Amino acid sequence: MRTIPRSQRFANGAVSFWFRETGLPKYRDPLPGDADYDVCVVGAGFTGLWTAYYLKKEQPDLRIAVLEREFAGYGASGRNGGRLSAEFTGSREHYARAHGKAATVALQRAMMDTVDEVLAVAEAEGIDADTVKGGMRLVATNAAQRERLTEEIAYLQEWGYWPDDIHMLEPDDGPRLLVDGAVASAYCPHAARVQPAKLVTGLARAVEELGVDLFEGTAVTGIRAREGVSRPAAVTDHGTVYADHVVRATEGFTPGLRGPGRQWPTAPVSMVATEPVPARVWERIGWEGREVLGDTAHASVYAQRTSDDRIVIGGRDAPHRVGPGRDGDGTTRPQAIAELWHALTRMFPDAADVPVEHAWSGMIGLPDDQCPTVCLDRESGLAWAGGYSDSGMGAGNLAGRTLRDLLLGRETDLTRLPWVGHRGDGEGTGRRRVRTRVVHGLYRTADRRESAEERTRTSRLAGLAERLSGR
């Protein structure tokens, strides 16, 4: 196995390459002591910041506090692949059984609208996040993947995608993007490349300028529901915040937080970024459209061409830990780095000599039933959202707008979406860990068999993995 070329500036962790590019922000002041607000938001990632942003824009007199253990964007919001898309990982059939197909289609259309909503707010607030709405390219590199991609397009077109929203590409369609071994590709216009750290720090600034109090370096240790005349509260290491409503927007940090409300396990996601790729290599690869890129392997990866011409690629890490987890500083295991580098060089062998400059990882919420949720329990005064899996950059914005309407007591198209009020069934952490390891191994083996044996149909092992995972 070839040694991975590493830059002299190689770093592992340090939160993410995105924050290395911008510089780690200076911490805002922590909570000064016990306090009283109308709304208290726990977590300054995309969900929490979007919720505070839309609430304050809609009702400027609301007193809103956002509490963050580290700094805004420290978790998955500042570590993701920079893929803002209409992808939605929840089970459409699950939502449709409870709310009907039309409501599930409406959720998909709302995710499409969310891409333009995020870009419009970024422009209005003067947030330069290196955004390019180039759409998303999905590639298949063997016959089984091609069949799966064709079937996936047909499936999506039954659940809210029209032909213009996703379709197979002819060889000469669109800007040139040469992925080695590609036998088919599809395109969806509802996606944009983003530098996530720039977006989340810009959003935090916009929230503060609206008059929201953002306290960093303030660890929330528990959330208390309303009890009689006692108001809901967030308990921190610097004091207790009482509010009419407490919103839990902690995603990958949720399992370690005491208090009522839905819990979900977490899963690690890892990324690597190369040094800037030489112009002569880009001449061979193309990628002038700056689309976000994904493949159709079972253990899939996603990638982008950055504003300074690097390749950033990421994917689900091997599930060495499932359940309660902490992001830490983002240090990534050597095995995860190797898997991503080999995926990169399979797709772009011309870039095999470009050194890897940064590797990092983070935790995402991964519900047992694969379905994200937005909830408000009026009796307890608690609200929460999350479990987005790999679609958090878009879903966090849609959740923030939906929480706004729920907290303001409005019945709108957003509050009628089928993820509102959804509560999935959980299982023990030990069983979940074993099941997730088995599923991961089956998917990896299925990918190898489909490539090595030139299968024309999806491996039966992948079907077994799908049944075990509940997809």
- Find all residues with CB under 8 Å of 261, minimum gap 6, and list them: 223, 248, 375, 377, 382, 384
Q: Compute the average pLDDT of residues 304-321.
A: 84
Q: What percent of the chain has pLDDT over 90?
A: 77
At 9, give phi and psi (nearest 5°).
-100, 20
pLDDT tens for each residue of 103-151: 999 999 999 999 999 999 999 999 999 999 999 999 999 999 999 999 9
pLDDT tens for each residue of 424-447: 644 444 444 444 555 555 555 555
Q: What is the pTM of this model?
A: 0.90
User: Above 60 in pLDDT, residue 33?
Assistant: yes
User: Above 50 in pLDDT, residue 323?
Assistant: no
pLDDT tens for each residue of 176-233: 999 999 999 999 999 999 999 999 999 999 999 999 999 999 999 999 999 999 999 9
In this structure, are residues 398 and 293 in contact, taking their beta carbons and an 8 Å threshold?
Answer: no
Q: CA of 275: how far to CAs of 95, 272, 312, in Å?
A: 43, 10, 10
- Find all residues with CB under 8 Å of 343, minimum gap 6, and list them: 295, 301, 313, 315
- pLDDT at position 266 is 79
pLDDT tens for each residue of 347-376: 999 999 999 999 999 988 877 777 899 999
pLDDT tens for each residue of 226-256: 999 999 999 999 999 999 999 999 987 766 6
Q: Where are the beta strands (DSSP E) in 99-226?
A: 136-140, 167-168, 184-188, 191-193, 213-215, 220-224
Helix/strand/coil percentages in the chain, nearest 5:
35, 25, 40
Pairwise pLDDT comparison (88 vs 12), residue with the higher score: 12
- pLDDT at position 252 is 72
User: Above 70 in pLDDT, residue 297?
Assistant: yes
Q: Compute the average pLDDT of residues 302-309.
A: 98
User: Above 60 in pLDDT, residue 324?
Assistant: no
- pLDDT at position 447 is 52
Element (H, E) at 357: strand 356-365
In this structure, are residues 250 and 413 in contact, taking their beta carbons and an 8 Å threshold?
Answer: no
Q: What's the chain's average pLDDT?
A: 89
